[in-house]
Structure 1
């Protein structure tokens, strides 16, 4: 088992100039620089980008649906690293509704779990092939109010790592916490991100960013 070093990459103008942040969380075997490249396909040129790096390029050792004890202490360490990054961003004067998350696969699972445990008004959650973590979904750990946070959650059917049933459970939890969830399931899609998913994510960012610019803070 392992704990994660406090390590993240940044890209773009300083937060003091942009006033908007996007946290990108990589999947198993990938890197912070590789997930930062995903931003090239999203309308976030005026965002400050942050990408935490997992020790050994993996946030936790086993499946996200394995018994939780098998993924400890790596899972708690990963959630702590993400929490410290979020707090450091908010401490620079950013409001939570100007903070966005995107993750793929293991990274999507991590942002799902973190956001549901710390539900508040975020700019948006882009969950590409991932869901809440645990052998079973423990709803007692998810608290707060997303207050209309837009969420996009997508997956293939079947996916080799993420069953559709866990996507459905994740949608249900986030809906009860006050998120506005868009779910897309693609029959036969491989474990990747399609252009259509990027287009939907871009629409979410544009709509959310425009609402905030117009003073609609939910």
Structure 2
């Protein structure tokens, strides 16, 4: 994996850590522009990993799994997982955010037993076709925010809804937003919810609590 970028609060001053995983053909700077620069929550240390090439894996997310895709996905998950575990060593609440292919990566990492304080899967689905036997792990009330456009060019809505169903079956505490007409981007409504996830992490509260 290419060099990890750090931004925001210094390690000794941070109150929470947020790992942000980019999508296909994107860079850490893209995530800075699309997400991080729009978040205004003090005390957050951002950790942004980068894939070796232009993508974490070559296939489309909904393509049937091949040996090559499985090998690439395993290697990418190992790299991102190492980044997350290094961030965990700081002993702070840990929020995981992924966009597009990065969100698919985050979903697969969670489904393989990865643990965080809360997660946001922005435009995500499982990696693999309907007929593939995809691994699932118990999520035990983990707060997970998922989003998609109703006609996203990369992540079909049916595939996103399938992911949401699996997350629910695995015990996640879910909020799902579907945005009619939204492009392959991150909207202000998503940024607002992400800010809420980070605020909850800093305050030591459980994210996505029902509104009384």
Mark yes or no: TM-score above 0.5.
Answer: yes
Match of 2:49 among 49, 52, 56: 52
Aligned length: 204
- Cα RMSD after superposing both structures: 2.2
Match of 1:130 among 89, 106, 124: 124
Cα separation, 2, equivalents of 1:156 and 1:137: 24
For normalisation by structure 2, the TM-score amounts to 0.86
CA shift for structure 1 position 93? 4.4
- Is 1:141 matched with 2:139? no
Q: 3-state DSSP class of the match of 1:16?
A: coil
- Between Structure 1 and Structure 2, the one with more helix by share is 1
Deviations 1:82-135 (A, max 9, x none): 111122222x2425xx11111111111111111121254x22211111122111
Match of 1:85 among 75, 83, 86: 83
Match of 1:178 among 159, 167, 171: 171
Q: 3-state DSSP class of the match of 2:168?
A: helix
Given that 1:19 and 1:94 are in contact with CA atoms closer than 8 Å, whether structure 2 keeps it comes out as no
Task: Name 1:114's counterpart in structure 2.
Answer: 109
For normalisation by structure 1, the TM-score amounts to 0.84
Name which of structure 1's ranges 105-114 and 197-206 shifts more when overlaid on structure 2: 197-206
Given that 2:6 and 2:48 are in contact with CA atoms closer than 8 Å, whether structure 1 keeps it comes out as yes
- Is 1:201 matched with 2:201? no
Structure 1 outlier segments of 4+, above 6 Å = none
